């Protein structure tokens, strides 16, 4: 047994220190980014925020709504083949949409069939599993990269620099970073495993950038300020679940509670999701996600305005004319956590 004594940080442990700025208005800030992906060589331009591939959030409707603002979506894994083919053909060139898959043989076969039909309209793929540290995952990633040299691959999830490097060397253009921080994730509680998300971002970004790779910070953002901190810490992309949940473009069921409209939102490893897609929770495993009811918020448009406005505002406070400059201009100040926050008093 070993104990790592280094301090590891979450979003709530820091604030961004303001810096002298010559910007006069938030409208002067450009929050889009341009990248050329390491393996696929494909260019990217857009606002680097991705709707999560959860079945409530990663929907066709969300993809269309976010595309209007140059944001991306990772579609959830449970769409049927015919509807996926239809969607990719229809949206081709007009949006960044990730086809999502796990690493089972059936996942790969489904992808192969959909890709055969949809052809080059599928340009981005997200391969994710709860634990990106297994040999099986690495073997899958290598095979995918060998067979599809021109596809942009986002792969994860991991939380440490050495594994971010490994995934990039195995073929990932973008490494997805986050174990345990998700709003409906219970991994930290159920397995005791995880890593404070801001430190995971800082360490993985440093490792990935050293190899010309990119990272996507996945999970744990609960406010626009958290996105600013994630970008400030070095995230190239950010994936959002909870912040995009509860909208008209989501697929969750709407229910009435105390006279208010609420929407069901649940983790993809929750009992709700497992019963929906596998019929039950397998005997050997525990659920690592939960279900919550969140306020129904109507079209995602207004929420997007808040999110993008918050990120723009952070840029003006530190004098970053472009989102690209935010991490270079970020100094985090550590904040003392209140005892009542630590102990829940």
Instruction: Give the catalytic positions in this structure.
Output: 185
Number of residues that bind ligand 5GP (CB under 6 A): 25
Q: Could you say whether residue 178 binds ligand 5GP (CB under 6 A)?
A: yes
Residues 151, 125 contacting (CB under 8 angstroms)? yes
316 near ligand 5GP (CB under 6 A): no
Asked if residue 197 binds ligand 5GP (CB under 6 A), the reply is no
Examine residue 241 and tell whether it contacts ligand 5GP (CB under 6 A): yes
249 sits near ligand 5GP (criterion: CB under 6 A): no
Could you say whether residue 242 binds ligand 5GP (CB under 6 A)?
yes
**C-alpha to C-alpha distance for 17 and 314, rounded to whole angstroms:** 10
Stretch that binds ligand 5GP, among 96-104, 212-220, 278-286, 312-320 (CB under 6 A): 212-220
Which residues 6+ apart lie within 8 Å of 321 measured at CB?
A: 23, 28, 29, 30, 315
Strand, coil or helix: 278: helix
Angle between helix 81-91 and helix 60-67 axes, rounded to 10 deg: 10
What is the distance between the alpha carbons of residues 186 and 267, in angstroms, rounded to a whole number? 9
**Least distance to ligand 5GP from the beta carbon of 180, Å?**
6
When the beta carbons of 229 and 324 are compared against ligand 5GP, the nearer one is: 229
Compute the least distance from the CB of residue 18 to ligand 5GP, in Å.
Answer: 26
Q: Which is nearer to ligand 5GP, 185 or 205 (CB)?
A: 185
Is the CB of residue 160 less than 8 Å from the CB of residue 179?
Answer: no
- Helices 135-147 and 105-118, axial angle in degrees (round to 10): 20
199 sits near ligand 5GP (criterion: CB under 6 A): no
Residue 131 and residue 176: Cα distance in Å, rounded? 11
Query: Which residues, in sequence order, are CB contacts of 160 under 8 Å at separation 6+?
Result: 195, 200, 203, 204
Least separation in angstroms between CB 185 and ligand 5GP: 3
- Provide the 3-class DSSP secondary structure of residue 100: strand
Asked whether position 48 contacts ligand 5GP by CB under 6 A, the answer is: no
- Work out which of 9, 16, 29, 52 binds ligand 5GP, going by CB under 6 A: 52
Stretch that binds ligand 5GP, among 105-113, 240-248, 308-316, 318-326 (CB under 6 A): 240-248
Residues pairing with 118 in the sheet: none
- The residue among 221 and 326 lying less far from ligand 5GP, judged by its C-beta, is 221
Among 48, 51, 213, 219, binds ligand 5GP (CB under 6 A): 219
CA 267, CA 289: separation in Å to the nearest integer? 5
Q: How far is the CB of 146 from ligand 5GP (least distance, A)?
A: 26
Encoded tokens for 249? 């473009």
Write out the residues near ligand 5GP by the rule CB under 6 A. Answer: 52, 54, 130, 157, 178, 182-185, 187, 218-221, 239-243, 267-270, 288-289
């Amino acid at each position: 047994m070993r104990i790592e004594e280094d301090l590891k940080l979450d979003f709530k442990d820091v604030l961004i220190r303001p810096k002298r700025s010559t910007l006069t208005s938030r409208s002067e800030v450009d929050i889009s980014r341009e990248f050329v992906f390491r393996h696929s060589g494909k260019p990217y331009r857009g606002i680097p925020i991705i709707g999560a591939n959860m079945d409530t959030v990663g929907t066709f409707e969300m993809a269309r709504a976010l595309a209007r603002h140059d944001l991306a979506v990772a579609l959830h894994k449970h769409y049927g083949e015919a509807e996926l083919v239809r969607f990719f053909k229809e949206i081709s060139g007009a949006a960044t949409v990730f086809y999502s898959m796990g690493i089972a043989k059936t996942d790969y076969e489904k992808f192969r069939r959909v890709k055969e039909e949809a052809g080059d309209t599928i340009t981005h793929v997200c391969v994710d599993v709860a634990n990106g540290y297994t040999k099986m995952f690495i073997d899958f990633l290598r095979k995918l990269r060998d067979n599809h040299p021109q596809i942009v691959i986002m792969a994860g999830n991991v939380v440490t620099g050495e594994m971010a490097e490994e995934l990039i060397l195995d073929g990932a253009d973008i490494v997805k970073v986050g174990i345990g921080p998700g709003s409906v994730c219970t991994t930290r509680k159920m397995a005791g495993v995880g890593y404070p998300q801001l430190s995971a971002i800082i360490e993985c970004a440093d490792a990935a950038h050293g190899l010309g790779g990119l990272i996507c910070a996945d999970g744990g953002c609960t406010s626009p300020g958290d996105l600013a901190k994630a970008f400030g810490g070095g995230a190239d992309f950010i994936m959002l679940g909870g912040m995009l949940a509860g909208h008209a473009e989501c697929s969750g069921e709407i229910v009435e509670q105390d006279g208010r409209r609420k929407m069901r939102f649940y983790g993809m490893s929750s009992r709700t999701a497992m019963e929906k897609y596998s019929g039950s929770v397998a005997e050997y495993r525990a659920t690592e996600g939960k279900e919550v009811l969140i306020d129904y918020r109507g079209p995602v448009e207004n929420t997007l305005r808040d999110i993008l406005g918050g990120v723009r505002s952070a840029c003006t406070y530190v004098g970053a004319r472009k989102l690209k400059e935010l991490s270079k201009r970020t100094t985090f100040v550590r904040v003392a956590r209140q005892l009542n926050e630590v102990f829940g008093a």
